[in-house]
Amino acid sequence: MSSEGMILLRCGGCGGGLEGLPGDLLFLCPRCSVCWQIAGTSLTPLALESAEPGPGGCTGHLPFWMLEAETEITKRFSRPRESGFPADTPEFLVEGRPGLIEAPPRRSGEMLFVPAFLTERAIDLGLELTRSAGDLGWASTGPSMMAGGCVSLDDAIELARILVLSREVRQPGSLACAEVSVAPLHSRIAAIPFTAVDGGFSVAGVKSVVPYNSLADARAILGCFGRSVDQPVISDRTVPEGRIEHHTVPRAQGGGSDVRSQ
Ligand SMILES: [Zn+2]
């Protein structure tokens, strides 16, 4: 639905109904393995890739933007770790800026992943999946359900720019400034498997658990897959006999509740 009027949420391929959350912009047609995005007052198709879940299966899939892009980093100035006061390091005088050294411009083609769902951890998640995507296996068919895709392509490109800049910030040496451009050549949606575990989503290709309270729609997304944050989410982790593990299950809204297992 748009502010201009109604958009009929039907697949342009098979005519089947499209399901999602109220704020979603991206809708999966499981019959055609196509993702439809709301663009203005119509739906336009996007290619869909689906990663294989691990041997234990998965709770569902989360949408990520998969941007094949040309990235360019220019005017990259850094301050060497050992550099002290500018007056002590005259050899680093570059373009009149004391203590800074400029790296040559870099241009490369790469595949960048950014979450298409709302999360506070968009950059960390995107960085990790961008690094590990080469290790994922890809399925020949798409998932039967996907929800929470509410990040537009324009916002995904902005997120990808921040991701590339953030990657530079984490390089050795102290980054002073850099200009980053990301020119997408091709965009599609990747359906990435996740499993609901204690406290959050375990996403394929991402080592740390994504806490429920860092996802805007965790509760609604889980609901699409017949799960609830309020019901205990059973972890596969075994706790050694005699030990008590005490931790907090974050809630999507309100405070947390203590869960004790032994
Ligand atoms: Zn269809």
Which of 70 and 98 is assigned the larger pLDDT? Answer: 70
What separation in Å is there between the alpha carbon of 44 and the centre of ligand 1?
12
What separation in Å is there between the alpha carbon of 259 and the centre of ligand 1?
42
What separation in Å is there between the alpha carbon of 13 and the centre of ligand 1?
5
What separation in Å is there between the alpha carbon of 8 and the centre of ligand 1?
13
List CB contacts of 39: < 8 A, sequence separation 6 or more.
Answer: none
What separation in Å is there between the alpha carbon of 81 and the centre of ligand 1?
55
What separation in Å is there between the alpha carbon of 28 and the centre of ligand 1?
8
Q: Where are the alpha helices (DSSP H) in the chain?
A: 122-132, 153-169, 218-224
What separation in Å is there between the alpha carbon of 50 and the centre of ligand 1?
16
- The band of 5, judged by pLDDT with boundaries at 50, 70 and 90, is low
User: pLDDT tens, 39-75?
Assistant: 888 999 999 999 999 888 899 999 999 999 999 999 9
User: pLDDT tens, 193-238?
Assistant: 999 988 899 999 999 899 998 988 898 999 988 888 765 454 444 3
What separation in Å is there between the alpha carbon of 121 and the centre of ligand 1?
32
Percent of the chain's residues with pLDDT above 70: 78
What separation in Å is there between the alpha carbon of 45 and the centre of ligand 1?
10
What separation in Å is there between the alpha carbon of 228 and the centre of ligand 1?
28
